[in-house]
A and B are shown apart, each in its own frame.
Chain A
């Protein structure tokens, strides 16, 4: 099986590229540190020798380029979405950080609407074909279906949340929307799909209060869709990051959120880690450098590095893979997300 080889790429690397691992970073609320998380985790991974591309999917408030210290982009993701550019690889720009590249978000072209579902499918395929080990998507705030789709097709979906009731509430709203969207796309029967749509409204007249109520109802209609529902539940594993923690109590919030996800949605959310509140974050943004570059020894940087290492898992970096006695492990090859929306 030969990996896809892009024509204009150098011949040095394609052999190790078994498809980029796509990580999306969302969380519903604006200002919880999604772009901060993306820029810093990407920098950590790039420094560890991985080829990383960050993609600004925040089509309404794109500014990831500023956070990673790149210049304002001349072209952006919007050009691909609007089909002005066919090759996503042409929109990749270098950043001041070695190994880290960027696809910028829309800039000043407000006439571009959110992409349609079909165009998003095209985009997702192109993202996976990028010459990189990791492609990290910075999602916008809110629960627009475009945001949810980017979240759902990724290999890893990170939900960033800070220890404030509003942020937690938004994280749940986001998870609930993503959950139901994923479930609806996984269902086959027309009646069952409609039922999922009904359940998305929390005050529906069917009395479907929780995902488990919904499951019972689906099982009564169609046992095959019921089994699919359970299977999809199992595959849906968002990973929770708590940002801006100040106390040990704040850190425990991550456990609690994951427990609530288990008990309410029946999904196995994972507590990936936490990052403490740090005043230097503001300074790092002002200096247009990720914190892990600006203050690599700070607690926040150490926590970010831990999260990055967990994300990398056993995935071989380009450096490691290039070493003669290291072979890309088969487990590192991502299977295109089993439940990717194909409706």
Chain B
């Protein structure tokens, strides 16, 4: 009997310890999500044009969480997957007015405003996704010096990463735009940023 009581006390104690370990682990995991979104760098000044002719500058990044990509419309490899994934996120966060999307063309010669509008109709289902163009020099500079993404041999040599930018124009993280696991992670990180306010 007393032997059993001893075992019972050990069992209860073990469950208690497991509870504490569980609580600690859950807390650490939650904290790590926030810590894992470091401030990487602030986006420098730039000026591009949306397909509707309106100017889009760094000021348009203020007070919005932004998911950015570099694409071109004739691209047959990564761009359709990246854009489909961005469209998916746009749909899932349709209720939020704190999130926007930008796609910057790396082939401004071909991607006229009309071509970009057509491309937009294919992937975007809300007016919070801007398809931007500018001179190729501006785009290369913005990609390399603003986003720290390689931009050699454009239009083909653009990065396939999606960039998460917070409400203060800071780059927080990069995601491989064609990998499902990265998109899930991006989605979770957007939720974390929205919850942070």
A and B co-occur in one complex: no
